[in-house]
Amino acid sequence: MLSSRTKSDAISQSDLHAVPRTTSPPPLTIKAPNLEQTKQLHARFLRAQFHHHFLPQFFSPSAHLNSLISSYTKNNLPLAALKLYSHARKILATALDSFTIPTVLKACALCRSHCYGAEVHGFTIKLGFDCDVFVLNSLIRMYSECEDLDSSIVVFDEMPVRDVVSWSTMIRSYGRSGLFLEAVGLMIEMMLVGVNPSEVALINMINVLADAAELDVGRQVHALMMKKSEFSQPDINVCTALIDMYGKCGCLDMARKVFDRMDNRSIASWTAMIDGYARVGDFGIAMELLGKMLQDNVKPNEITMLSLVSNCGLYKKIELGKWLHAYMLRQRLEMPVALVTALLGMYCKCGDNKSARTLFDSMSEKDVMSWSVMISGYSQANCFDEAFDLFGKMKDFGVNPNEITMVNLLSLCAEAGALDQGRWVHAFIEQQGIEMDIVLATALVDMYVKCGEMEEAYKVFNDTGDRDVCMWNAMLNGLAMNGCGNEAIRFFSQMEAARIRPNDISFVGILKACSHTGLVLEGKKFFNRMINEYGLVPRVEHYGCMVDLLGRAGLLEEAYEMITRMPVSPNVVVWGALIAACKVHNNLSLGELAASEILKLDPLNVGCNILLSNIYAAQGRWSDVAEVRRAIKDGGLKKAPAVSSIELNGTIHEFVMGDVSHPQTKEIHNMVAEMKRKLKQAGHVPNTSVVLLNIDEEEKESTLCFHSENLAMAFGIISTAPHTPLRIVKNLRVCDDCHSSAKLLSKIYGRVITLANNRWWAGQLGLAAGLGGGVNEPASSASSGPSKLTQEMNIGLKDPSDPSRATASADDQDDERVDNEDEPKEGAVDIGNRRPRGRPPGSKNKPKPPIFVTRDSPNALRSHVMEVAGGADVADCIAQFSRRRQRGVCVLSGAGAVANVTLRQPAAPGAVVALRGRFEILSLTGTFLPGPAPPGSTGLTVYLAGGQGQVVGGSVVGPLEAAGPVMVVAATFSNATYERLPLEEEEEANEPGGQLSGRSPAGLGSGGGLLDQSGNAWAWADQRTMGSRAAKQGKASWQAGSALGQLGSLGGQSTGNRTTKRKGSREHEKASERAGRDLGQPGSWAA
């Protein structure tokens, strides 16, 4: 027996044409009475790897070659089969026959080697086998497996003679490409030319119709079979295909009739029937059939269990899924990776990530789908940290992610509003060369639009050649979310001009766009066009959008009339849109009616009660407010807390109202007080009407200050350099006061502040307008200004600084009325169908202690994993990173291979050793500082392993060229103080250690603080020019700047009030003068 090996996905031409040995063995005389014994003898040669050289010695080499290639292919060793063929082609070119080529083409199909298959095709023509129907059928099958339908059609059309296998194979090729109409047409053509369909042809045709869910055509094929005498009593395989087709089309009555008429049933027949019932959620009959199957002594296999488990996840039947899992363990059924992955998916879809992770960790073998499914489970639960941690482990285990993995990560970034992480995923996709198919490109567009980056979304959209309706819908919904109603209408027209037929989701997007921008007439026109022009039946989502559109415009009676005329029963979403509008327009009667209808449909709906409470509070009916809230408390209902998050350096920080759990709570609250003071100085009057509590005005103002978005904004201000844009995501709607105050704060602090909720991005078209002339940075530094998008997309987006745009934003503030605020009485859940962002129940995705450089964190470290590309200089890349980021880098470890290394070894002759060749990195340490740095403080030390086992090491003094990807783990820091040791004993114990805070401390002289205009965290370069001043001032202490790049001079001669008292002042003065002279010289340092 040949041993099984893992199938190779990629075959290099050098591997295929490599000859194992160049020397030929001596002539061999084989004494065997027949070919079978000769093959047995050759099997022994296989184990010794001699078969390549003894092959020419056999008296029938072509037959033996065919047997060997066929054995390799049957044992799933296509690469070995192709290697043998490549070698045999050189020494047995004339002995290759028409039986060799099909086996080789089958090996090409197994490993999806299109290039090598095309090469075999050319060799086939050269040998004159291009008229052999057996060879040509194999070519059609190979091209079909390699997803090259065009080449399959060319081969089929040029065949001089076609048999039933040719037609059957071509029908299957059309089915694999999703072209079921072409497959049906080919079936009809086959019968017209007089070729009777075989059993295999019928099964292929039925499978195509099953995948396309074409019930009517499937019934016609079934009727045709019944008319044919040879198929009046179809065999077990045809009946199984019919059961599968009817089951996938939802016609279980016909499937059951075919099943019950079968005299003999295989395990595939039982599985197809069970799968049909499980698909429609009828697990009672499915489990009944499973019991009958066991009574007939037919044991279920992995396909049977895979179908049941997958559908349990689809219908969230976790108890049945657990029972099936336990049954498989009790019966000790074989559980391949695909089945275990299905169990993972079932647990994840049912929300039991704990059980899923336990099963995942117990898997002895994991493939890329297993990792992707587990990451998908964390993505569905909004467990951001867990998903990316698992993705990191996936790479550590050497499993290459695929398109599905990337789609799950992008979906998670979109829901969390994590733009930086989303950009990193985009860069990773491009770096790893992952195929950018239409699904992955659509996920990228969806991520960017949900993060408010319309420019980058359109760039991906424009770079995608074959755009389908899903991608157009993603862009359309993005324009709606960003409040670009008129632009969405023009984009819809472009979609129609491109001959992309809008579907029901397209109209949901365009109706949302009209609703958010108050385009009532346009919304009504699109609703009518959907019915009359496109023949689409409005779903409950479309009616919900129309009720929201009319409600926002104040047409409450018309909205209620539309609800009463709906052909489908209104759900919570529709009534929720009406009650939200009633809250905005203070219509108590309709609000009470809508609330009663919602509670009939969903008695546990806390959002409805809170909105009703808000309506009562707006009219001062506090007794009714107390009654509603008492009902909420007695019913044990809890609202989803309002959570605002901000992403800094790849870490998401979350805040709730009045949050005191953050490690920097004191600094955050101090900044909130400063923001409040500056807003008051700028003339801002808090909008206390949004605080619907029976408290005095002062308490209402205090409540507004500590909304979650204000806390996130304060944290962003103290944790980033000036003029850095801030992006804040909230899981509920932003109140009017926070919206207006954020506009003013963006002007006060000179920042682009983007506030996002789960409906639309307030910052893109609203907050940017508040910048006025207060921002000194160019407009291109904004998070996503629409100006560039206007030129590329040609849909007329207005500039945020346009006064008309600012007016429109002010008029449209009804879009974000405070339905859900941070007060305990508020926070109604969004009645739309989108999943709220924030922490899910039981999630570990809670704020973690941040690692940022702030005014009170002098030497905070950031961890980095750096990948140096092959061919690059490792040391130069890290030094360049340090210079550009203006941060010190401490290299902790490294892994990979380098070549042509120059090391300094003091013990070696000449001290410097040049090494040539390839070496594996054993240890890599060192430090890099932005220049100028103290002598000896920057450098890299490496220990390497050579090919012969020798170990060398030393300081790197020349290029350190990466022989492949080199991974470097490092920590960076932004502040450093140069010290001379030992310290003087007389120095005061409480003297500052050289770290300056973000603001100039009291006592700094007029020359003591310089601001790094670039906002970088390093200012050593400025210290060189200060050397002469230091010498004149006598006592001086030069220190590295803080996050704002300040320099200080703490000396007795300074104009400040703080002085340092030391004994031996004369010696210290001389040292200071030396320091000044040294600092004035390039490349030298002194304390």
DSSP single-letter state for residue 761: B
pLDDT band at 130 (very low <50, low <70, confident <90, very high): confident
DSSP single-letter state for residue 769: G
CA distances for 436 relative to 112, 451, 466, 470, 578, angstroms = 19, 20, 11, 15, 42
Which residues, 6+ apart, have CB-to-CB distance to 879 below 8 Å?
928, 938
Q: Considering only residues 416 and 1065, tell me which one the structure prediction assigns the higher pLDDT.
A: 416
Q: Considering only residues 1046 and 961, tell me which one the structure prediction assigns the higher pLDDT.
A: 961
Q: Considering only residues 244 and 1007, tell me which one the structure prediction assigns the higher pLDDT.
A: 244
Look at residues 788, 816, 844 and tell me which one is the last residue of a structural domain.
816
- Lowest mean pLDDT segment, chosen from 9-23, 527-541, 595-609: 9-23
pLDDT band at 426 (very low <50, low <70, confident <90, very high): very high
CB atoms < 10 A from the CB of 157, how many? 9
**Are 1014 and 958 found together in one domain?**
no
- Both tokens of 682, joined, read 């700028």
Q: Which residues of 375-399 are buried (b: 16+ CB within 10 A; e: fewer)?
A: bbbbbbbbbbebbbebbeebeeeeb
Give the mean model confidence (pLDDT) for residues 523-542. 93
Q: What is the pLDDT of residue 651?
A: 80
Residue 26 maps to a domain = no
- Both tokens of 1034, joined, read 């006598």
**Are 1042 and 909 found together in one domain?**
no
**Are 692 and 756 found together in one domain?**
yes
pLDDT band at 766 (very low <50, low <70, confident <90, very high): very low
- Lowest mean pLDDT segment, chosen from 133-142, 230-239, 281-290, 404-413: 230-239
- Phi, psi values for residue 832, rounded to 5°: -75, 180
Which residues, 6+ apart, have CB-to-CB distance to 205 below 8 Å?
171, 183, 184, 187, 197, 221
- Lowest mean pLDDT segment, chosen from 278-287, 392-401, 821-830, 1057-1066: 821-830
pLDDT band at 230 (very low <50, low <70, confident <90, very high): low
Q: Is 810's pLDDT higher than 60?
A: no
Which one of 425-434, 735-744, 819-828, 1048-1057 scores highest in mean pLDDT? 425-434
Cα–Cα distance for residue pair 669/672, rounded to 1 Å:
5
- Lowest mean pLDDT segment, chosen from 441-455, 528-542, 547-561, 616-630: 616-630
**Are 888 and 954 found together in one domain?**
yes
CA distances for 276 relative to 238, 259, 493, 1000, 1025, angstroms = 16, 11, 41, 74, 81
**Are 968 and 1007 found together in one domain?**
no
Which residues, 6+ apart, have CB-to-CB distance to 954 below 8 Å?
903, 904, 905, 913, 941, 942
How many domains in the chain? 3
Residue 281 maps to a domain = no
- Both tokens of 592, joined, read 């009470």
| 64 strand-pairing partners | none
Q: Please report, for the domain that includes residue 967, its CATH number.
A: 3.30.1330.80
- Both tokens of 1030, joined, read 């230091």
Residue 242 maps to a domain = no
Q: What is the pLDDT of residue 621?
A: 77
**Are 962 and 1010 found together in one domain?**
no
Residue 438 maps to a domain = no
- Lowest mean pLDDT segment, chosen from 267-276, 612-621, 664-673, 1016-1025: 1016-1025
Amino acid at 252: L
Residue 762 maps to a domain = yes
Residue 1030 maps to a domain = yes
Per residue, what are the HEC states of 84-95?
HHHHHHHHCHHH
Cα–Cα distance for residue pair 453/460, rounded to 1 Å:
11
Q: Is 1033's pLDDT higher than 70?
A: no
Give the mean model confidence (pLDDT) for residues 831-859. 38
Look at residues 816, 846, 873 and tell me which one is the last residue of a structural domain.
816
Q: What is the pLDDT of residue 495?
A: 93
Give the mean model confidence (pLDDT) for residues 777-802. 35
**Are 889 and 775 found together in one domain?**
no
pLDDT band at 862 (very low <50, low <70, confident <90, very high): confident
- Lowest mean pLDDT segment, chosen from 81-90, 387-396, 737-746: 81-90
Domain extent for 678: 644-816
Q: What is the mean pLDDT of the chain?
A: 74
Q: Is 2's pLDDT higher than 70?
A: no
Residue 748 maps to a domain = yes
CA dihedral 234, 240, 245, 246 (to 10 degrees): 80
- The sign of the torsion formed by the CA atoms of 63, 69, 73, 76 equals positive
pLDDT band at 317 (very low <50, low <70, confident <90, very high): very high
**Are 752 and 879 found together in one domain?**
no
- Both tokens of 501, joined, read 């037929």
Give the mean model confidence (pLDDT) for residues 351-366. 92
- Lowest mean pLDDT segment, chosen from 56-60, 470-474, 768-772, 985-989: 768-772
Q: What is the pLDDT of residue 913?
A: 81
Cα–Cα distance for residue pair 369/363, rounded to 1 Å:
13
**Are 898 and 1001 found together in one domain?**
no
Over pLDDT 70: what percentage of the chain?
A: 71
pTM of the model: 0.60
CB atoms < 10 A from the CB of 253, how many? 7
Q: Is 151's pLDDT higher than 70?
A: yes
Q: What is the pLDDT of residue 321?
A: 94
Q: Considering only residues 483 and 897, tell me which one the structure prediction assigns the higher pLDDT.
A: 897
Q: Is 47's pLDDT higher than 80?
A: no
Answer for the pair 500, 489: CB distance below 8 angstroms, yes or no. Answer: no
pLDDT band at 92 (very low <50, low <70, confident <90, very high): low
Q: Is 986's pLDDT higher than 50?
A: no
Q: What is the pLDDT of residue 452?
A: 83
Residue 321 maps to a domain = no
Beta-strand pair 939-945/951-956: antiparallel
- Lowest mean pLDDT segment, chosen from 138-142, 391-395, 414-418, 774-778: 774-778
**Are 1001 and 942 found together in one domain?**
no
Answer for the pair 514, 528: CB distance below 8 angstroms, yes or no. Answer: no
Which one of 29-33, 58-62, 919-923 scores highest in mean pLDDT? 919-923
pLDDT digits (tens, 9 = 90+) for 196-228: 888 888 888 888 888 888 888 888 888 877 777
Q: What is the pLDDT of residue 687?
A: 66
Q: Considering only residues 531 and 12, tell me which one the structure prediction assigns the higher pLDDT.
A: 531
Q: Is 332's pLDDT higher than 80?
A: yes
**Are 881 and 744 found together in one domain?**
no
Look at residues 942, 973, 1004 and tell me which one is the last residue of a structural domain.
973
Burial class (CB in 10 A: 0-12, 13-18, 19+), 835: middle
**Are 894 and 957 found together in one domain?**
yes
Cα–Cα distance for residue pair 79/72, rounded to 1 Å:
8
Write the Ramachandran bin of 637: left for phi over 0, alpha for psi from -120 to 50, otherwise beta: beta
Answer for the pair 837, 731: CB distance below 8 angstroms, yes or no. Answer: yes
- Phi, psi values for residue 921, rounded to 5°: -80, 125
> H-type helices in 13-60, by residue range?
13-16, 35-47, 51-54
> H-type helices in 933-1037, by residue range?
1020-1024, 1027-1033
